[in-house]
Structure 1
C-alpha cells in the first residue's frame, strides 16, 4: 500500500520506518524542513533504538519525506496523523496541530478522485475523531466520511527507546473505524506481524489508549504510595513488590517505586482523561490522586537530602540522570525537572550529567553546571541524587571517591551500597 505519515516525531518516524519495513511505500510529511532533510539523508530525527538502521535501509527506496501535503496525499492511499497532542496550561488536550493537519489533509482529499483513508494515530480523548477530525475533513474536502473517504483510529502503544521493537512485536493492534471498509484497509497494513487485530469503533479505540496508559500510571503511583509507607516503617518496598508482582493477576511490571513517572504519554494522558471526565460530569478521584502523588514524589528526594545535609544553599549537588527514562534523550515531564528547579530555588549549586539528555535540559536550565561524565559531576559534591535508570549509574564505585561527602540518594533503586568498595551514606526514596 501507499502510505503518507503526517508528523515525524517519535510516533510518526517510527510508524513510517516500520511500515516501510513491512513492504509498504511511505511518504513522511512535516513542516520542519530540517527534519525532512534528515530523513531524506537516512538520518533519524530522534534518538530511538533501531530507527536509524531502518531509515538508512529504506530511504530513497520505499520511503522519503516532504513538506508538500498535496504531493504526499495525491501519491498515497492512506494518511496517518501522528502529530503531538500535548496538554495546555489547564491540563486539557491541545488539538491545535491536529486541527491544522486535518485541514491540510481534508484539502488534499478534496482534490482526489479516489477513496482515501485518514487514520488518527495521535493520542486523542474519546469522541475527538468523531467530533473534531471528521467534521474538519468533511468541511475542507467537501466530501462525506464513510462514503467518499474513510476514517479510522489506530492508537499506538510504543515505549520510547523500544518503539521500533514494539511496533514490530506488539501485544495488541487496535483499529477503530468509522466504516467497515476503512477498518479492513488499515488492518491489512499489519499483515506480516504476528498479532491479532482488534476491530472496534472510533471512540472505543481512543479510550483503550487512555485506559491503558492510565492503568500503568496508576500502578506506578500505587507502588510509590506503598513505598512511601514502607519507608516510614523501615521496610524495603522492593522486597514487598517483588512478591506482590508474583500474583498472576497483577504481574511485576510497573511496580517499581521511585521518583515517579514522566515522559510524553503518562502525565499528559492521565491529565487529559481527568479533564475530559470533568467535562462530561464525572469526578475521577482515583486518577486525580495518581497525578497528585506523582507531582509530589520527586520532591521527596529533596526532603531526604535536607534531612542529611540541612540547607542545600551553596552546596554542590550532583544530579545524575536528566532523561525521563533510560534509552532516550527525551526530558518531557522528567522527574529531574522539579528536583533541579527546587534545588535552584533553595540556592544549591547544581551539577548535572546524563549520557544523552544534557543538551535538551540546557534549553530549560541554562543556569546550572553540566558535566561530561558521572565522575566529573561527583567531584567535590556534597550529595548525589540518582534520577534516571541508566546502567552506568548501577556501576558507580570509584567515581564516588571524589565526592566531598559520599552521600547518595537513590530515586530509582539503582545501587546496592554493600557492593561498593568505597564506603558511602546511602538512602533510597522508598526503601
Structure 2
C-alpha cells in the first residue's frame, strides 16, 4: 500500500516519516520547491528532536521520497493524507481554502479508488465538505472514501507521540476505509477509537480545548496564590496527584501559545456560537491566556517604575522548549508590550528566531545568554529551555546592571535567587 502525504509542514512531515518508520512506502507532496529540495537532502525546515534522523534514515532506505508532481503522486497512491494548514481567520474560524484546493485536485487527478484522510485539524463537518469537493471536481467517476484521523502530537515530542500514541482516532462511515486505516497502524499498540467523522473532528478540538483550560485554570489560580502567599507549585502538585485531574498542564506561567491551542480553542468557540451555544468556560480560558503575560509585566512595571529607556533581557522566544515555533508565543506579547513603552531589548533563544519580516526597533538578538544579560536592568524568562534553567546566576549578578528577575515560567527557586541578592518575581510561587 502506497501512502501520499500532501503538505510537508509540521504535521505532514511527521506523519510521512512515521509511516515510513512503520514500514510503508511514503511520498511527501508539496508545492513549495524549496521545502522539497531541502527534504530530499535530508534537511528539516523546522526544529523537532529526532525527526531529521528519521528523515535521513528513510531517504537512504528508499521508504520515503518527496515530489512536487501532483498528478503522478495522486495517481500512484492508495491512501492520501491531507496535512495542509488551516490557519485562523480574523473571526477565529478555520480557513479551509488549502483543504478545498487539495480535495479538488484529488478529484481531478484520481484514477481509481482512493482513501482520503484529513489529518489537518478541521471544524466539525469538514469530512462532508471534502467529500463534496472531490465529487464536484471529478471528470470521471471513481469511488473514494473520506475519513478523519486527527493527530495528537506535542511539539518537541512529536516522534515519541506518533510512534507511541495514547490513542488512534478514526472517523469513518465506511467499513472499507476503517479497515484500511487500521491496517496502516497494525503494528502500533494503543486503543483505537472508531467513530463517525464528525465525532473524530470534535475529539481533536475538545482535547486541545481541555488542555488549554487546565493551563488557564492554574494560571488564574496562581494570581490568587500570590495574594495569599501560597506557592502554586505546591497547589499544583497536591491536586495533580488526584488521578481524575492529573499533573500535566498544571505548570503556572505566562500562558500557552503555539499553532494549536489558540487556533483550536477559538475555532471551537466560534463553532458553538454558530450553533447558538455559549461555551462560557472556554471564553474565559481565552481571556485569562490573553492577559496572563500582562500580569507579569504589571509586576515588573511596579518594580521598575517605568520601562522607558530600561535595558531588558528576554530569555526564550519559542512558546515551549524543544521547538522553534514562535506562533502565538507569550514572549512576543511581552516584547510588544515592552517596546510600546520604549524599552531597550536584548533577546536570546537557543533555537527560535524572530520572524524574517519582523522590523523591531530597539531590539538586539544575542547569540549567548551572557550577551543578553550584559548591563540589563531586568530579565524576563519566557521559555524553560535547559540552558536557561542552568544559568549560573551567581556569576550573572555582576553582569547585569540591576538584579531584577521576572520568571514567566517559574523555572527558578525564589529563596535561592533572593539569597544571591536578586529581586525575584515569579507567578504564584514567590514564597
Q: Give the TM-score taking structure 2 as reference length.
A: 0.96
Q: Is the 8 A contact 1:30 1:66 kept in 2?
A: yes
2:53 maps to 1:53 = yes
Please give the root-mean-square deviation of Cα atoms over the aligned residues, in Å.
1.4
Q: Is the 8 A contact 1:304 1:429 kept in 2?
A: no
Q: SS where residue 184 of structure 1 aligns?
A: helix
2:228 maps to 1:233 = yes
Shift of 1:38: 1.1
Q: For residue 4 of structure 1, what is the aligned residue in structure 2?
A: 4
Q: For residue 117 of structure 1, what is the aligned residue in structure 2?
A: 115
Q: Is the 8 A contact 1:323 1:329 kept in 2?
A: yes
Q: SS where residue 402 of structure 1 aligns?
A: coil
Q: Is the 8 A contact 1:382 1:406 kept in 2?
A: yes
| Counterparts of residues 378-389 of structure 1 (less than 5 Å) | 378-389=373-384
Q: For residue 239 of structure 2, what is the aligned residue in structure 1?
A: 244
Q: For residue 108 of structure 2, what is the aligned residue in structure 1?
A: 107
Q: Is the 8 A contact 1:230 1:430 kept in 2?
A: yes
User: 1-side partners of 2:342 and 2:331: how far apart?
Assistant: 16
User: 2-side partners of 1:357 and 1:65: how far apart?
Assistant: 26
| Counterparts of residues 14-93 of structure 1 (less than 5 Å) | 14-59=14-59, 61-93=62-94
Q: For residue 256 of structure 2, what is the aligned residue in structure 1?
A: 261
| Counterparts of residues 321-332 of structure 1 (less than 5 Å) | 321-332=316-327
Q: SS where residue 153 of structure 2 aligns?
A: coil
2:151 maps to 1:156 = yes
Q: Is the 8 A contact 1:27 1:63 kept in 2?
A: yes
Q: For residue 95 of structure 2, what is the aligned residue in structure 1?
A: 94
Q: SS where residue 176 of structure 2 aligns?
A: helix
User: 1-side partners of 2:294 and 2:175: how far apart?
Assistant: 50
Q: For residue 178 of structure 1, what is the aligned residue in structure 2?
A: 173
Q: For residue 387 of structure 2, what is the aligned residue in structure 1?
A: 392
What is the CA deviation profile of residues 224-270 of structure 1, one whole-angstrom value per residue up to 9, with x for unaligned ones? 11111111222111111110101111011101111000001000000
Shift of 1:399: 2.8
Q: In structure 2, do the counterparts of structure 1 residues 154 and 44 end up closer, same or farther at CA, with 3 Å as the change threshold?
A: same
2:132 maps to 1:138 = no
**Moved runs in structure 1, 4+ residues, more than 6 A?**
none
Q: For residue 127 of structure 2, what is the aligned residue in structure 1?
A: 129
2:167 maps to 1:169 = no
| Counterparts of residues 276-291 of structure 1 (less than 5 Å) | 276-291=271-286
Name stretches of at least 5 consecutive residues in structure 1 with no aligned partner: none
2:182 maps to 1:187 = yes
Tell me which moved more, 410-419 or 20-29.
Answer: 410-419
User: 2-side partners of 1:365 and 1:413: how far apart?
Assistant: 30
Name stretches of at least 5 consecutive residues in structure 2 with no aligned partner: none
Q: For residue 412 of structure 1, what is the aligned residue in structure 2?
A: 409
Q: In structure 2, do the counterparts of structure 1 residues 332 and 229 end up closer, same or farther at CA, with 3 Å as the change threshold?
A: same
Tell me which moved more, 197-206 or 415-424.
Answer: 415-424
Q: For residue 399 of structure 2, what is the aligned residue in structure 1?
A: 402
Shift of 1:42: 1.6
Q: For residue 201 of structure 2, what is the aligned residue in structure 1?
A: 206
2:329 counterpart (334, 347, 350) = 334
